Amino acid sequence: MQQFDLNLSSGLEKVSLPSDDVGEPEGAEIRFQNQFYDSSQVTDFYNVLYSMVDWQEESLWIAGRQRKVPRLIAWYGDPEARYRYSGKVHHPEPWFEPLLSIKKKLETTLGCDFNSVLCNLYRHGEDSMGWHADDEAELGPKPVIASVSLGATRAFHLKHKKNPKLRHKMLLTSGSLLVMQGTTQQYWLHQVPKEPKVTKARINLTFRHVIR
Ligand SMILES: O=C(O)CCC(=O)C(=O)O
Ligand SMILES: [Mn+2]
């Protein structure tokens, strides 16, 4: 039976996925910290980012029809960190606070560099992100993706690409940090499903290193 990870960790801890059947080479390498930021920091960050980020509504052509992406997005980073997702090349807007200080804290904690961040605003539970992997060539073969959540708690699902019975569910709480690295993107998909009962908004920041 699938169960939600209660995410009560106080430090950055390894998350075990049901990868035993596929073995080590196809494993996901995921770590999670429940309170990477405390509630007063979260409130400050959330308020500034909600009003200052240049949130964009995007559309995609799916099966010959144009559909709105069910969330708002924005891309910030170093000038050269261009990134293609949803079939479009995104040019980063310049860093501003608190994105820069969050980036620095992540770099110190994780010992790696990030040159860009994708900001996602889930306005309510009808906003979502479908199954995908962050496996674009410009992120390199084993990208480290650091994902900070602010606001409403949302579910986060993972499933193995070749063996979709292998699944894991987590709750991404406000102030939490989720790190995906190693072969996670190569072998696993992730999603933020719709949750119609959720009425509050959530901001998610996924810090990445785009290779040029
Ligand atoms: O909102 C989330 O937690 C996931 C975001 C994500 O997967 C992405 O930006 O690629
Ligand atoms: Mn992703």
CA of 129 relative to ligand 1 center, distance in Å: 7
For residue 18, give the amino acid letter: P
Q: At 54, list the tokens.
A: 């240049």
pLDDT in tens, 75-89: 999 999 998 876 778
Ligand 1 atom nearest residue 190's Cα: 7
Pocket-testing residue among 83, 185, 192, ligand 1, by greatest number of atoms within 8 A of Cβ: 192
The first and second tokens of residue 181, run together, are 């690295």
Please report the domains of the chain, with CATH numbers, ordered by start residue: 4-208 (2.60.120.590)
Please, are residues 4 and 170 in contact by the beta-carbon 8 Å criterion? yes
Task: Output the CA 180–ligand 2 centroid distance in Å.
Answer: 9
pTM of the model: 0.93
**For ion ligand 2, residues whose CB falls within 5 Å:** 134
The answer to whether 56 touches 93, Cβ cutoff 8 Å, is: no
What's residue 21's pLDDT?
60
DSSP summary character for residue 97: T
* pLDDT computed for residue 1 by the predictor: 39
Give the sheet arrangement for strand 65-77, strand by strand: 13-15, 29-33, 177-181, 145-151, 202-208, 116-122, 65-77, 56-62
**Which residues of the chain are modeled with pLDDT < 70?**
1-10, 19-25, 86
Q: Which pLDDT score is estimated for 26?
A: 78
Nearest bound ligand to the CA of residue 120: 1
SS3 158: strand
Please give the Cα distance from 159 to 166 (Å, whole number): 6
- Per-residue pLDDT, 2: 47
